[in-house]
Structure 1
Amino acid sequence: MGVPFEALLPYGIMLAMFGITGGGLSQLRHMQNGGKRSRHSVDQWDRRDKRLTGFLRGQTDRPTAPPGFELNNPWKCESRFY
């Protein structure tokens, strides 16, 4: 005895929703990286590119930093006790 196709409809709907969700998340990650593939194990040196360009994967060829970059220091300096 065969399985009626109505019993397989929920599985088809779930499979379609997983596919749509996976494709949407992949497209979102692609857009967040500025149109480039995602990169793993990004360290603090690579986060400098985000401060310069606004994108984690962005790189610039300008020899000077943008205005206001000299005040945008991510390192916290300790206050000295003299």
Structure 2
Amino acid sequence: MGIPFEALLPYGIMIGMFAFTGGALGQLRWMQNGGKRPRHGLDAWDRTAVMERDRRLTGFARGQTDRAEAPPGFELNNPWRVETRFL
């Protein structure tokens, strides 16, 4: 005597939804990183200085460029924000 397939349909639907959600989240993370694998073990220097500079240069936090000339906007390459009252 076999198991009725109607009893297994909800489990198949749940497993399918978990698989779809995991794949969609993985694809979204891959797209947010510019097609690269996500980084782990970042310290404060990587997040604030290096990745911010890369984001300003290329538009992606993981992007890197080999251009020798800096793009417009890098006349003062200082990531620190200054209050307007001190200018």
> What TM-score comes out, normalization by structure 1 length?
0.78
Tell me the equivalent position of 2:60. Answer: 55
Note the C-alpha offset of 1:72: 7.8
* Partners of 1:10 and 1:70 in 2: CA distance: 60
Q: What is the percent sequence identity of the aligned residues? A: 70
Provide structure 2 residue ranges, at least 5 long, that are not aligned to the other structure: none
Runs of at least 4 residues of structure 1 off by over 6 A? none
Alignment of 1:2-81 (within 5 A): 3-40=3-40, 41=42, 42-45=46-49, 46-70=51-75, 74-78=79-83, 79=86
* Partners of 2:12 and 2:77 in 1: CA distance: 51
Note the C-alpha offset of 1:53: 0.2
Change (3 A) 1:18 1:72: farther
Note the C-alpha offset of 1:52: 0.6
Provide structure 1 residue ranges, at least 5 long, that are not aligned to the other structure: none
Q: What is the aligned length? A: 80
* Partners of 2:64 and 2:21 in 1: CA distance: 30
Higher helix fraction (1 or 2): 2
